[in-house]
Amino acid sequence: MNKLAFLAAALCATVARAQTPAPPAAPPRMTIDYVELADDARYEPLRAFARYILLDRDHPFAGATLGVNDAKPLSRVLKADHQLERVTVKTPEEMADAIVKANDAGVNFFIVDAPAEAFRAIAAAVKGRDLLLFNVSAPEDWLRRDLCSPEIVHTMPSRAQLMDGLNQFLVSKKWRNILVFRGPKPEDNETAEAYERSAKKFGARIVATQDFTPGTDPREREKNNPALLSAINADWDVTFVADIDYDFVREVSYHTVRPRPVVGASDLVPAAWHWTWDHNGAPQVNTRFSKLANGRHMDSPDFAAWMAVKLITQSALRTNGGDFKARRAFILGPGSFDGDKGEAMSIRPWDHQMRQGILLGSPYSVVAEAPIEGFLHQKDVLDTLGDDEPETTCHLNR
């Protein structure tokens, strides 16, 4: 090849390379930190006195993972490729430190899987920072009413929401007279108090509250025998059981002196999610989750974590990949989100609780979804569940 031909070939190659489009740039990666406590007692298997497992539980990391996986097909439209980083610490103080350090490094969104008490240290540490923490597993009402942190969004339903959903159903059935069995744990007392408050709100009547002692000690039979505990001088329509340990409640059905339905901790349970929910796209969600979690059923914390990621990724889509302040404003704004439960969900401006329907599930079916038809609200029917603005001490919107 002579010199002229060589130069011509080189020129053609240069032109060809110039005309070849460069591969599209990968969207930027945006980290969501999933923060949890090691040895969280809430996820230990619940065991009976004979040590066999009554209920096996797991962290809702799989729910958050499902949310990230669901967003992957939209990564180019979202202008961000969201990734989930799991952070496990030993104490609430370490959790607060880890969140602050990650925020300093540029992370703005955190899925927080921790007991309610852990949020005291966390809320104090992050006050005024550019971040949002999504509570996905703590239902305690005082987190919404008293701690009242502007940096926390609650995708897990509050106890007030759960109890209101249950009581709406019972009142709609005209089952208004309630016998309450209350366990010895602080969580049992908080649940019974939330139920009592809800019963008063919807016109139900608690005919008696009986404190029980778990176990089979014959010396405690007046406290651990459902028949003796239910031998009261009044009739009732439903037995409500507050039993965080899930041990006593399994002996209540068919053992009371009157044949009455059992609700609360077992038999009919108010929840954010149920594995048999078969409306509004839920079967597809349950199938994807079960495949991801090696056959485990999706439950309420999983749903809350899934929705938290959905709010985060939707904020990127709706703000065209905007900065944190724009995305925060969208999440906390008047817009709504689809959670495959029918009613559109949104964040209450006064306490940052996510409005959502409550599923009333028996072991193998969803009996009803609250709000129950006939319970009305002047603005949003979902505000018949939980703390409406006039009912709460938390007013973040003022």
pLDDT (tens digit per residue) in 176-235? 999 999 999 999 999 999 999 999 999 999 999 999 998 877 788 888 899 999 999 999
The verdict on 103 and 151 lying in the same domain is yes
The verdict on 48 and 152 lying in the same domain is yes
Asked whether residue 56 carries a pLDDT value surpassing 70, the answer given is: yes
Q: Is residue 397 part of a domain?
A: no
Query: What is the average pLDDT across 266-282?
Result: 95
- Verify cis geometry, omega within 30 degrees of 0, for the bond prior to 139: no
| Closest C-alpha among 178, 349, 345, 204 to residue 273 | 345
Of 20-24, 68-72, 323-327, which gets the smallest average pLDDT?
A: 20-24
Question: What does the H/E/C string look like for 287-333?
Answer: HHHHHHCCCCCCCHHHHHHHHHHHHHHHHHHHCCCCCHHHHHHHHHC
pLDDT at residue 196 in the model: 98
Q: Is residue 108 part of a domain?
A: yes
Average pLDDT for the chain = 91
| Closest C-alpha among 170, 139, 164 to residue 367 | 170
Q: What is the DSSP string of 44-88?
A: SPEE-TTS-EEE----THHHHHHHHHHHGGGHHHHTSEEEEEEEE
pLDDT at residue 19 in the model: 55
The verdict on 256 and 168 lying in the same domain is yes
**Distance in Å from the first CA to the final CA of the chain:** 82
Residue 180 pairs with which residues in a beta bridge? Answer: 209, 240
Q: Is residue 22 part of a domain?
A: no
* Residue-range definition of the domain harbouring residue 260: 161-271
Determine which helix (DSSP H) or strand (DSSP E) holds 118, and give its type and residue range.
Answer: helix 118-126
Q: Is residue 347 part of a domain?
A: yes
DSSP 97: H
Phi and psi torsions of 284, nearest 5°: -65, -40
Distance CA 94, CA 105 (A): 16
Q: Is residue 186 part of a domain?
A: yes
If one counts the domains in the chain, the total is: 2
